[in-house]
Structure 1
């Protein structure tokens, strides 16, 4: 297992879960992926954040939901690496996005901000300090992909290009055109696609987070055993692998991917 010590600007670098029940979410993902959990506390001893580890390497994070999200299910958040949060914030506003949380320091760990793109999708950025991002990714039991699904794909493509300088390699897929973010060291930095026709209106535009697994069917069965829900799949995606859409025991949505064998 190789350890990463940083990410190029414009590359997704971290994922974390905001949950109304940190203990329940910790237990679910620990049992599903075999993760360990380390809590961070403030000076008064209150838990402020939980870091998930796989074989001692940092893979993801977990925090409690703020009061304004009371009643909402857990949400996995995508963070994109930046060298300058303040400069990125100015680009977001110029490109038609909104600043949900202005740039702030996270102790000595780094600097972050949270935005919504023009269609209301939440996206976060991270300027690394002591925390460089996930130490392991693109391996079984770790985060592996980020995917935007939106009802305004043309505006989204332009927005993320203006903010992060993304370019795209587009391909035809059964569900429509798929736009892979060019660059990165694993065949792309993520993907964007139009919301498939017939998707219920209750499904919002969103960034989906994928975790890699060795066996999608076994992982899906385990989700059910742990009180989660199978939303779709597992299904085979030619040339990609076997994937499923799942809900954790608190209703938070995530994806799993068993990669297709390399030719």
Structure 2
């Protein structure tokens, strides 16, 4: 689905910070059919936009510092990055970078919520973010893992006005009646040193075939493909790229 308008407070972009951007381009290009275009401006630091059939869908960049883990970062849309950063900090977030102008593209900040999950804020100028979502190869969902689900829910409600569909196991979140993510508790399956985090999920026409292709390209399976046991539940899998970036793939029930 082509994106013409992104609701403030909703996911508007995702980018991978990695040790080997060129290898990431090969992996995700082979997995999702993404094409890559690296910004030639030296100030961009090798920032590369992925596109799906000509529409921007994600990005990859070198790590900002050697201690930074390989990971996907989710950014949320805002009409005013400075004001949104101030609201987030008042609600308990920690500011790591910015807000700063990204050439003429927009204004950006990186924070972590009170439970430790990193996220970005994006105030669009020349670049809006996702130009395609909710179709095979494109972004479609955010999945949060935290050791304090109630605390995370309160933070995002206070900061972005998110709606919450309550659940003991996996409260789902969204805006304007449109769900775009969920939060789960980090149990014993997660190492104690692993921080809270958000992961993007990309739509797959065939989850099992995508898992097999990821293995073929050198990726790993973190969570094997399975059907979510709920009404209209999707089929999902969680994968790790060859450099360590974790992401999910899913096929909505409505695509069956």
* TM-score scaled by length of structure 2: 0.93
- Give the aligned partner of residue 183 of structure 1: 175
Q: CA shift at 1:195, angstroms?
A: 2.0
- Give the aligned partner of residue 90 of structure 1: 86
Q: Distance in 2 between matches of 1:47 and 1:66?
A: 9
Instruction: Give the aligned CA root-mean-square deviation in angstroms.
Output: 1.9
What are the residue-to-residue correspondences of 1:147-186 with 2, within 5 Å? 147-172=143-168, 176=169, 178-184=170-176
- Give the aligned partner of residue 137 of structure 2: 141
Change (3 A) 1:251 1:68: closer
Q: Distance in 1 between matches of 2:228 and 2:34?
A: 27
Pick the aligned partner of 1:220 from 211, 218, 223. 211
Q: Distance in 1 between matches of 2:171 and 2:119?
A: 18
Q: CA shift at 1:47, angstroms?
A: 5.1
- Give the aligned partner of residue 53 of structure 1: 51
- Give the aligned partner of residue 261 of structure 1: 254
Q: CA shift at 1:5, angstroms?
A: 2.6
Partner deviation per Cα, 1:77-109 (whole Å, 9 max, x = no partner): 100000111111111211111100020001111
Check conservation: 1:5, 1:132, Cα contact below 8 A: no
Report SS of the residue matched to 2:158: helix
Check conservation: 2:10, 2:174, Cα contact below 8 A: no
* TM-score scaled by length of structure 1: 0.91
Check conservation: 2:85, 2:121, Cα contact below 8 A: no
- Give the aligned partner of residue 4 of structure 1: 3
Q: Distance in 1 between matches of 2:71 and 2:86?
A: 26
Partner deviation per Cα, 1:188-229 (whole Å, 9 max, x = no partner): 132222224544324431101101001111110111111111
Check conservation: 1:39, 1:47, Cα contact below 8 A: no
Structure 1's consecutive aligned runs of 4 or more residues displaced over 6 angstroms after TM superposition are none
Q: Which runs of 5+ in 2 are unaligned?
A: none
Q: Which runs of 5+ in 1 are unaligned?
A: none
Bigger Cα displacement from structure 2, 60-69 vs 133-142: 60-69
